[in-house]
């Protein structure tokens, strides 16, 4: 049966474009059905009850729209209309802008620095925004990053990497590496303790953080890494191009927010070949990396109905099997980006508490 989807851009938050793409009635091609008395459950029944009212309202908004897939025209429309300008910032800590020299002749990379203070060395985070490798920008999360900086007394650098499909792999991760290297090289000026630099990313930003950590492990100076990463914090990371293409997911995973249609488009844009292809550029898909040894301690958090939940669990298992200290949090009923669209809910609070606890352990600091 022909597949079709209805979609609407709901909002852009935390660098994540939240889309609703709902399968038309009767679509069964990729469904792994769970039935009660022969009737397949509505996907919303797998979502935490506290999220259901807002998701039901969103679904009603899209039911009147006609079928359409994710394509370049839709991407252009989202980029044109999806953003709402820079967020209102807190008075403290201060946010400054800088241009980092690109690697090997690449364009300069804009970065936003939160909490720069050239006094005593403090922990630092390189933050990489989400958006499916094709959307988002480094400014969207700045107010939230200010709060994290203040809470953990940390310097945070948010990187404005180039987006696909205009800049395919390795451009976005090279931009991120340029920012990471700049942080280490300018640690005294920025007030950074180079022994406590973490990388953190959400969704596609989490995928880039994982790629970056692999790249940093493999790039050496005199038999040691150019930059030591103390931990990678991966928030529902986008790690496997095969999800939703050659790997079929249960129908309720990805039913809300980012789904398999968007996932194939995002990965194909980054890779320059169709998602799920037999061959992809080396280093571009963390889930396909054969050797995960020597990576820093890792924290992964994902919702149980997120499209990425299986790939994230699998990556955590492989890290553990490679001797990498790894913490995995799977939040029941959480969909992709739930803590952004529902920030004051019980599950969102559990999520934020887990991330804060991971950062405290990594940086070895008390509450500020």
Digit-coded pLDDT (tens) for 239-298: 999 999 999 999 999 999 899 999 999 999 999 999 999 999 999 999 999 999 999 999
Q: What are the sequence ranges of the domains in the chain?
A: 95-363
> For residue 366, what pLDDT band results from cuts at 50, 70 and 90?
low
Report yes or no: 178 and 104 within 8 Å, Cβ to Cβ. no
> Of residues 149, 158, 176, 203, which has the active-site annotation?
203
Two tokens, residue 229:
């990463």
Q: Which of 137, 141, 175, 306 is catalytic?
A: 306
pTM for the whole thing? Answer: 0.89
At 59 the pLDDT is 72
Which pLDDT belongs to residue 35? 45
Percent of the chain with pLDDT over 70: 84
**Catalytic residue of the set 269, 284, 312, 336:** 336
Q: Give the pLDDT score at 297.
A: 98
Is 203 among the catalytic positions? yes
Per the annotation, the verdict on 336 as an active-site residue is: yes
* 193 contacts: CB under 8 Å, gap ≥ 6: 121, 122, 123, 124, 187
Query: CATH classification of 95-363, choosing from 3.40.1500.10, 3.40.50.1820, 3.50.50.60, 3.40.50.300?
Result: 3.40.50.1820
| 127 CB-near residues (< 8 Å, 6+ apart) | 141, 145, 156, 157, 158, 159, 200, 201, 205
What percentage of the chain exceeds 90 in pLDDT?
A: 76
> Closest Cα to residue 294, out of 336, 324, 271?
324
Strands 192-202 and 231-235: parallel
> What's the rounded mean pLDDT across residues 108-133?
96
pLDDT at 86: 76
The reported pLDDT for the residue numbered 61 is 57
């Amino acid at each position: 049966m022909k597949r079709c989807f209805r979609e609407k851009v709901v909002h852009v938050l935390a660098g994540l474009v939240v889309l609703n793409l709902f399968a038309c009635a009767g679509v069964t091609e990729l469904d792994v059905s769970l039935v009660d008395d022969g009737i397949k459950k509505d996907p919303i029944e797998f979502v935490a009850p506290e999220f259901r009212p807002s998701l039901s309202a969103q679904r009603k908004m899209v039911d009147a729209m006609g079928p359409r897939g994710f394509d370049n025209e839709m991407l252009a429309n989202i980029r044109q209309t999806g953003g709402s300008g820079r967020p209102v910032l807190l008075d403290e800590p201060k946010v400054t802008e800088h241009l980092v020299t690109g690697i090997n002749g690449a364009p300069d990379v804009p970065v936003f620095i939160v909490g720069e203070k050239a006094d005593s060395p403090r922990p630092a985070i390189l933050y990489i925004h989400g958006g499916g490798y094709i959307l988002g920008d480094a400014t969207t999360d700045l107010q939230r990053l200010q709060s994290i900086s203040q809470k953990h007394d940390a310097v945070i650098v948010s990187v404005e990497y180039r987006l696909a499909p205009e800049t395919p792999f390795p451009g976005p991760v090279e931009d991120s590496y340029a920012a990471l290297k700049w942080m280490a090289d300018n640690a005294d000026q920025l007030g950074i303790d180079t022994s406590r630099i973490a990388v953190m990313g959400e969704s596609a930003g989490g995928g880039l953080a994982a790629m970056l950590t692999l790249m940093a492990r493999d790039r050496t100076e005199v038999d040691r890494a150019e930059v030591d990463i103390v931990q990678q914090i991966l928030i529902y990371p986008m790690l496997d191009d095969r999800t939703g293409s050659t790997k079929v997911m249960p129908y309720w995973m990805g039913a809300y927010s980012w789904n398999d249609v968007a996932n194939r488009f995002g990965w194909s844009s980054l890779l320059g070949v169709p998602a799920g292809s037999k061959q992809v550029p080396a280093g571009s898909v963390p889930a396909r990396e054969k050797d995960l040894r020597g990576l820093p301690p890792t924290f992964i958090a994902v919702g149980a109905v997120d499209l990425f939940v299986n790939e994230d669990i699998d990556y955590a298992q492989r890290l553990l099997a490679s001797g990498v200290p790894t913490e995995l949090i799977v939040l029941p009923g959480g969909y992709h980006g739930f803590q952004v669209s529902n920030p004051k809910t019980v599950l969102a609070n559990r999520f934020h508490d887990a991330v804060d606890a991971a950062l405290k352990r990594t940086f070895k600091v008390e509450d500020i």
